[in-house]
């Protein structure tokens, strides 16, 4: 899909489809009123007759409206004007695409971005529209012999602006939205791949390809099994011991800062390409979904694509911490005690609490980069899903400013997080009789004790942990990766680059 700005007045427009809004209180937004005048009251007739009452999920597709040069006019219900907000804005954009998908229109001009949304400017409205449209059109059927029948012919979407002064911010919104969508698509594709294809070495090859596409700006270091051993990253290594697929950590370094020596932002993604639970094996129900346990790594990969394409003036190190958690004759066991890279010893009481074992070594490893900020993204705990459900991700941090910056980026993009505490009181849950700490706590507050476990290894820098267990994929009929929290984190990085154009 290609996106463009339209700055031609509505009466002169000749397009395959015009998308305009109708409010529930029979009030017409500016562009709809204009169309009604041009067509000598043709549009209002449908509203007065009750054919369309403007409710949020209603719509009416008209063909050959009198005196209008464009072939179709799509009237989209926007609900009550007084209630029109960000949520409804996203909804009306989504609804119009749902309808356009089933027409033969190859292009359309959208006027919905003219609608007033409190505290949001044209940049925000166009970027959101671009993101909503692309995600509505996403599908993953490359492994089906019969590709999805829906042949989407819609290829060009124009967003109308009335003020010339909005031209530049509109164009930038399209550029940002387009690149961020690419990153999201790449990440979703990786996460949706089956675990027999998307193995740690598959993700290594993908990372190498990122370098080839971005020569010079990105360099990469591959930490294979032997190097992990030499570095003393035993906790990480242990998790992968039961699998034939060897662990592999890709360290992707992007240098975009004008100041070469500026401290990097480090992003770490949990990349367990399949989490069977290991010897503490999971129940078989929905176990297929544990292919999504590498979602954090797919997010970091997508983000590295985005930062390099946007050429952000930052130094960013992205780490895909990949391995597979399987049972087997060589697998690690409950009761094993392992010495981590930090020299702290950990008693493994549950081999299914593997994410924190991988991450704790990576969190020690990244000290060498002298990072300004470290953020890890992980499908870490089922407990986080119990606590927060599927709408928001769990946020933990040892720094209030960083936590606020992340929360704000989440609100701007509707890719929300909610902060949970890592108070000292919880630490004793991880006491072990035989090692420095245990890898699990008691049953309660599982998302928090997991974060407490990690925070033992993050004392030397500013750090945040995002638990995406509830947000990174959908189950049931809509099963599939969401690409979250790429929207949040790309906004966070844009903000850090001084490129927050939302206000």
Give residues in contact with ligand BES (CB under 6 A). Answer: 275, 293, 350, 352-355, 379-383, 385, 440, 446, 469
**Of 356, 416, 484, 496, which residue is the catalytic one?**
356
CB of 469 to ligand BES, least distance (A): 4
Q: Confirm or reject binding of residue 195 to Zn ion (CB under 5 A).
A: no
Residue nearest Mn ion by beta-carbon distance: 352
Among residues 86 and 350, whose Cβ is nearest to ligand BES? 350
Is the CB of residue 105 less than 8 Å from the CB of residue 156?
A: no
Q: Is 64 left (phi over 0), alpha (psi -120 to 50) or beta?
A: left
SS (HEC) of 57-93: CCEEEEECCCCCCCCEEEEEECCCHHHCCHHHHHHHH
Among residues 36 and 275, whose Cβ is nearest to Mn ion? 275
Among residues 239 and 307, whose Cβ is nearest to Mn ion? 239
8: enclosing H helix or E strand? none
Binding-site partner at residue 381 among Zn ion, ligand BES, Mn ion, none, CB < 5 to 8 Å by type: ligand BES
Q: Which residues bind Mn ion (CB under 5 A)?
A: 275, 352, 354
Among residues 352 and 361, whose Cβ is nearest to ligand BES? 352
Among residues 330 and 444, whose Cβ is nearest to ligand BES? 444
Residues composing the chain? 503
Is the CB of residue 486 less than 8 Å from the CB of residue 184?
A: yes
Among residues 383 and 387, whose Cβ is nearest to ligand BES? 383
Concerning whether 164 is annotated as a catalytic residue, the answer is no
Distance CA 355, CA 454 (A): 10
CB of 185 to Zn ion, least distance (A): 24
Among residues 176 and 291, whose Cβ is nearest to Zn ion? 291
Is the CB of residue 264 less than 8 Å from the CB of residue 374?
A: no
CB of 110 to Zn ion, least distance (A): 41
Long-range contacts of 474-477 (CB under 8 A, 24+ apart): 474/390, 475/286, 475/289
Among 293, 324, 361, 405, binds Zn ion (CB under 5 A): 293
Give the residue ranges of DSSP H helices in 222-343: 225-231, 234-239, 295-309
**Phi and psi of 4, rounded to 5°?**
-145, 165
Question: Given the structure tokens 């991988």, which residue do they identify?
Answer: 358
Distance CA 430, CA 442 (A): 8
Q: Which two tokens stand for residue 227?
A: 């190097």
CB of 489 to ligand BES, least distance (A): 19
Neighbours of 402 (CB within 10 A): 19
CB of 356 to ligand BES, least distance (A): 8
Binding-site partner at residue 166 among Mn ion, ligand BES, Zn ion, none, CB < 5 to 8 Å by type: none
Residue nearest ligand BES by beta-carbon distance: 382
Concerning whether 419 is annotated as a catalytic residue, the answer is no
**Per-residue mark of binding to Zn ion, 340-359 (x: CB under 5 A):** ---------------x----
Binding-site partner at residue 440 among ligand BES, Zn ion, Mn ion, none, CB < 5 to 8 Å by type: ligand BES
Neighbours of 380 (CB within 10 A): 29
CB of 435 to ligand BES, least distance (A): 16
Pairing of strands 315-325, 337-339: unpaired
Binding-site partner at residue 469 among Mn ion, Zn ion, ligand BES, none, CB < 5 to 8 Å by type: ligand BES
CB of 188 to Zn ion, least distance (A): 19
Among residues 225 and 354, whose Cβ is nearest to Mn ion? 354
Terminal CA-to-CA distance of the chain, rounded, Å? 27
Distance CA 328, CA 92 (A): 51
Classified as helix, coil or strand, 489 is helix
Distance CA 312, CA 306 (A): 9
**Of 217, 282, 333, 474, which residue is the catalytic one?**
282
Of residues 252 through 281, those in contact with Zn ion by CB under 5 A are: 272, 275
Binding-site partner at residue 350 among Zn ion, ligand BES, Mn ion, none, CB < 5 to 8 Å by type: ligand BES
Tell me whether the omega of the peptide bond preceding residue 485 falls within 30 degrees of 0, making it cis: yes
CB of 334 to ligand BES, least distance (A): 10
Binding-site partner at residue 383 among ligand BES, Mn ion, Zn ion, none, CB < 5 to 8 Å by type: ligand BES
Cβ-count burial 322-360 (b if 16+ within 10 Å, e if not): bbbbbbeeebbeeebebebbbebbbbbbebbbbbbbbbb
Residue nearest Zn ion by beta-carbon distance: 275
Binding residues for Zn ion, per CB under 5 A?
A: 272, 275, 293, 355
Active site amino acids: 282, 356
């Amino acid at each position: 899909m290609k996106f463009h700005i339209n700055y031609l007045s509505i009466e002169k427009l000749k397009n395959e489809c015009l998308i305009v809004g109708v409010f529930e209180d029979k009030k017409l937004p500016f562009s709809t009123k204009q169309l009604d005048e041009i067509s000598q009251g043709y549009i209002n007739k449908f509203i007065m007759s009750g054919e369309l009452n403007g409710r949020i999920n209603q719509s009416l597709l008209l063909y050959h409206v009198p005196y209008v040069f464009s072939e179709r006019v799509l009237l989209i219900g926007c609900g009550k004007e007084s209630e029109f907000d960000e949520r409804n804005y996203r909804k009306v954009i989504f609804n119009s695409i749902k309808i356009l998908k089933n027409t033969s229109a190859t292009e359309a001009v959208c006027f919905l971005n003219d609608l007033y949304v409190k505290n949001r400017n044209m940049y925000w409205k166009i970027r959101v529209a671009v993101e909503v449209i692309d995600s509505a059109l996403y599908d993953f059927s490359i492994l089906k012999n019969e590709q999805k029948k829906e042949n989407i012919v819609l290829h060009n979407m124009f967003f109308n602006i009335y003020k010339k002064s909005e031209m530049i911010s509109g164009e930038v919104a399209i550029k940002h939205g387009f690149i961020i969508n690419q990153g999201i698509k790449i990440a979703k594709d990786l996460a949706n791949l089956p675990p027999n294809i998307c193995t740690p070495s598959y993700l290594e090859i993908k990372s190498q390809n990122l370098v080839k596409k971005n020569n010079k700006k990105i360099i990469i270091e591959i930490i294979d099994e032997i190097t992990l051993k030499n570095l003393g990253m035993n906790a990480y290594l242990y998790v992968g011991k039961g699998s034939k697929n060897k662990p592999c950590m890709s360290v992707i370094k992007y240098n975009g800062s004008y100041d070469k020596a500026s401290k990097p932002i480090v992003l770490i993604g949990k990349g367990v390409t399949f989490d069977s639970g290991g010897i503490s094996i999971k129940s078989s129900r929905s176990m297929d979904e544990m292919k999504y346990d590498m979602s954090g790594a797919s997010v970091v990969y997508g983000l590295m694509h985005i930062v390099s394409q946007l050429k952000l003036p930052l130094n960013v190190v992205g780490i895909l911490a990949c391995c597979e958690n399987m049972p087997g004759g060589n697998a690690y066991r409950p009761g094993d005690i392992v010495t981590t890279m930090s020299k702290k010893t950990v008693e493994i009481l549950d081999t299914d609490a593997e994410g924190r074992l991988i991450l704790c070594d990576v969190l020690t490893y990244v000290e060498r980069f002298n990072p300004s900020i470290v953020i890890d993204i992980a499908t870490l705990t089922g407990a986080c899903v119990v606590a927060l459900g599927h709408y928001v991700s769990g946020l933990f941090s040892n720094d209030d400013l960083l936590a606020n910056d992340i929360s704000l980026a989440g609100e701007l993009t509707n890719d929300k997080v909610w902060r949970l505490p890592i108070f000292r009181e919880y630490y004793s849950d991880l006491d072990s009789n035989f090692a420095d700490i245990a890898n699990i706590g008691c049953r309660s507050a599982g998302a928090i004790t997991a974060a407490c476990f990690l925070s033992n290894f993050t004392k030397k820098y500013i750090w945040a942990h995002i638990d995406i267990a509830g947000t990174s994929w959908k189950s049931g009929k809509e099963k599939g990766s969401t690409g979250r929290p790429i929207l949040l984190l790309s906004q966070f990085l844009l903000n850090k680059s001084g490129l927050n154009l939302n206000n």
